[in-house]
Amino acid sequence: MRLHDQGDTVLKVVALAGGVGGAKLVDGLAAVVPAENLTVVVNTGDDFEHLGLSISPDLDTVMYTLAGVANPETGWGRADETWAFIETLETLGGPTWFRLGDRDLALHMERTRRLRQGETLSEVTADLCVALDIHVRLLPMSDDPIRTIVDTNEGKLAFQEYFVARACEPVVRSFEFHGAESAAPAPEVIEAMEEADLVIYCPSNPWVSLDPILAVPGMRKAVQARPTIGVSPIIGGKAIKGPAAKMYAELGVEPSALAVAQHYPELDAFVIDAADAVWMESIRALGLQPFVTNTVMDSDAARKRLAQEVLEFVGELELAL
């Protein structure tokens, strides 16, 4: 059966997302799915403490993207940004490797203030979404601290040290999600999954964006119980942004949409770019229904179109929806 009529989606959707690519598809979904039907579960493995601030880079990227203030050049921070704080910090000899814009800083400061008061990351995130006029439900994967550690040829590095301070230069060997085993999914995450007609793996880094989410106890089981579709973050052997392709190569796997499909055997369907149509049969052989379209989200219209197509693909699936 087809689950939605043109322009009138009735699916309850949960999207799992990391940073830039995930945020773009989420933004597209927000344009085609009624807000009350869309829940986004965001990676917090990149979260870290810096200058006494609790920083949640992926939550921020998704929030800024949905609020329409994300910086499209950098992939982090805000477009309407000024830099007086960090420039002055530099003259005072402070640490400036993590670039904090003046407006961005306010978000970290307010989050930190409220966490320190004893509120949870979920509660703070919900209120920040209200302040930013975001209507979809945005949930951190967990309110407990989970920290992605990158094991490299230079030793184990905290994620932001690897990602920002070292600019992804060290060669990766494996990943650890410290705290994951003893963490609980954030409130509403499992309930949202159980109610979902569809779980979408956004085109985020499999190793350090979606694997941490799936490492939260109960998540894999919840995912496996639902219809699932993923969108490849690798197009033509490359990631649009970030180190996903570099990671695959360093781990001895040819980076490709097929490699990502192999990463997610639990998926029912997988969306790849037209540039990767060559992998269709291999993906089908893995037990995933392949769909091919243009997956490059280089405009607001492209985000919306891809989101719409993902929902349409699902409508074509023979799933117990």
The residue (of 51 and 280) whose beta carbon lies closer to a copy of itself is 51
- CA 197-200-206 angle, to 5 degrees, is 150
Tokens standing for residue 112: 């930190």
Q: Is 86 in the site for a copy of itself (CB under 8 A)?
A: yes
Selected from 6, 8, 93, 155, the binder of a copy of itself by CB under 8 A is 93
Interaction of residue 107 with a copy of itself, rule CB under 8 A: yes
What would the two tokens of residue 16 be? 């799992």
Which residue among 4, 103, 166, 178 contacts a copy of itself (CB under 8 A)?
103
Interface of this chain with a copy of itself, residues 109 to 138, rule: CB under 8 A: 109-110, 112-113, 116, 127-128, 131-132
Considering the rule CB under 8 A, would residue 168 count as an interface residue with a copy of itself? no
Q: Which is nearer to a copy of itself, 1 or 84 (CB)?
A: 84
* Alpha-carbon span 268 to 225, nearest angstrom: 11
Candidates 72, 95, 218, 236; binder of a copy of itself (CB under 8 A) is 95
148 in Cβ contact with 45 (< 8 Å) = yes
Size of the site for a copy of itself (CB under 8 A): 31
Q: Give the binding range for a copy of itself (CB under 8 A) out of 101-109, 219-227, 254-262, 304-312.
A: 101-109
Q: How far is the CB of 66 from a copy of itself (least distance, A)?
A: 15
In the region spanning residues 35 to 74, those forming contacts with a copy of itself, defined by CB under 8 A, are 51-53
Sites of contact with a copy of itself (CB under 8 A)? 51-53, 81-82, 84-89, 91-95, 101-103, 105-107, 109-110, 112-113, 116, 127-128, 131-132
